[in-house]
Amino acid sequence: MDQVFFEAVHCPYCGEPIELVIDSSAGEQVYIEDCQVCCRPIDVRLIRDGAEWRVEVQRDDQ
């Protein structure tokens, strides 16, 4: 079932906890979202893992 959900992650730059709004209706995706604290660009990956969704974040400069 496609849905919108919230995912708590830590910014890979500043380490601060942030909350991302994830829209799984488009399926697996890769996009850039700015950190809500330090404003640096974060690579966000939404991956389907069986019946669950997995969110991975990493620095944009790696």
- Tally of domains in the chain: 1
Domain that holds residue 43: 4-59
Look at residue 2 and tell me whether its pLDDT is greater than 90. Answer: no
Averaged pLDDT, 6-29:
95
Distance CA 36, CA 20 (A): 9
Averaged pLDDT, 30-40:
97
| DSSP letters spanning the chain | ---EEEEEEE-TTT--EEEEEEEGGG-SEEEEEE-TTT--EEEEEEEEETTEEEEEEEETT-
Averaged pLDDT, 27-51:
95
Going by pLDDT thresholds of 50, 70 and 90, the confidence category of residue 60 is: confident
Determine the pLDDT at residue 4. Answer: 92
